[in-house]
Amino acid sequence: MIRRLSAFLVPTLSGAEITPEEREILRDFGLRHLIFFSRHFEEAEAICTLREELGRLGLGPPKGFFMVDQEGGRVQRIGPPLLPDYPAPYELARKGPEEVSRISQEIARGLKALGLNVNLAPVVDLAGEEAPDWLRERTFGEDPERVGELAEVFIREHLKAGVLPCAKHFPGLGGVFPDPHRELPQKESPSEAELRVFKRATEAGVPLVMTTHLVVEAWDPRPVTFSERALRILREDLGFGGLVLTDDLAMGALSAWELAERLLEALLSGHDLWLIAVEVREIIEPLEALSREVEASRVLRERLVVLEGRQKSFLKTFSSFEASL
């Protein structure tokens, strides 16, 4: 059961080299996906060696995902000398679609060359000058038509390069001031404009959507991260047919829940991938606890089968997509 559940986890590594303990866990647990941070990209030779060793352990393409946040501006995990410093999306938006296309293409090609197949971008939240610093410069602005247009360009260029983009943070953090990295924000309801941007991203073919740690009072008293209704709106009302991943389950917004509870709620809500940016050794206990819960519950086992089918279908499609490039 633990190996089945591991197919949905996206943890990280302690550094640019795999420790013996990490190697044993990766092998025994059957993990497939990882998220990478700045500490993993100190030099090109090291990341190539790391990627090759991870591939031998069965992680990453073509059966899994190597993810990174490379938005530009304040959130870009890879910088010089491996990749240039890219402008923030808020700044880039002022220069128009052609410049967004050029930079998006550069980012995607750079990630592809490093063996990464998922960029956790673009941010499609709506944010103007009054928005908090932690959000504003990561967005394309507050005009939904403009944000939708530029997000579509970003998505298209990544797909052309063979890198999967991810629209975030559903259903939109516009009008929210508390930072989910630290506390759990609330809003009455997302605006029609916010949902329209995600709809446009869906129509542009975005394969991944990330939800956010936000209580939408009109939908559910629980965070969207744990809300089956929120995912139903995304899939049924907005027509999204790809994979839905959580934002980092280790964030402060979810501190009221134990890690094992967060994983359980992510499974129950129907999230396809559970991003948890802790080192792999820290997932052992929560994963074992979740395994016991699933083995004891027919409902959870049925949910798991649904997720397995969706991921298998997605990976088959993605493999065909990569082969066509």
pLDDT 10s digits, 126-184: 998 888 888 999 999 999 999 999 999 999 999 999 999 999 999 999 988 888 899 99
Residue 75, pLDDT above cutoff 90: yes
Q: Which of 285, 295, 316 is nearest to 29 (CA)?
A: 285
| Residue ranges of domains in the chain | 2-323
Burial of 63 (0-12, 13-18, 19+ CB in 10 A): middle
pLDDT band at 46 (very low <50, low <70, confident <90, very high): confident
Q: Which ranges constitute the DSSP H helices of 177-323?
A: 192-203, 228-232, 259-269, 284-295, 298-323
Residue 68, pLDDT above cutoff 90: yes
Over range 187-193, report the average pLDDT: 96
Among 173-187, 188-202, 235-249, 294-308, which stretch is predicted with the lowest mean pLDDT?
173-187
47 or 170, which is more confident: 170
Distance CA 39, CA 251 (A): 19
What mean pLDDT, rounded, does the chain reach? Answer: 94
Residue 181: alpha-carbon gap to chain centroid: 15
Question: Which residues on adjacent β-strands are paired with residue 119?
Answer: 68, 165
Say whether the peptide bond before residue 80 is cis (omega within 30 degrees of 0). no
* pLDDT tens by residue, 88-110: 999 999 999 999 999 999 999 99
Hey, what are 207's tokens? Answer: 């394969």
Distance CA 223, CA 200 (A): 24
End-to-end CA gap in the chain:
35
pLDDT band at 317 (very low <50, low <70, confident <90, very high): confident
Among 3.40.50.620, 3.20.20.300, 2.60.120.1360, 3.30.70.1230, name the CATH number for the domain at 2-323. 3.20.20.300
Over range 233-240, report the average pLDDT: 98
What is residue 246's predicted lDDT score, i.e. its pLDDT?
99
Over range 292-297, report the average pLDDT: 97
Q: What percent of the chain has pLDDT over 70?
A: 98
Over range 202-207, report the average pLDDT: 98
Contact 73, 91 (CB under 8 A): yes
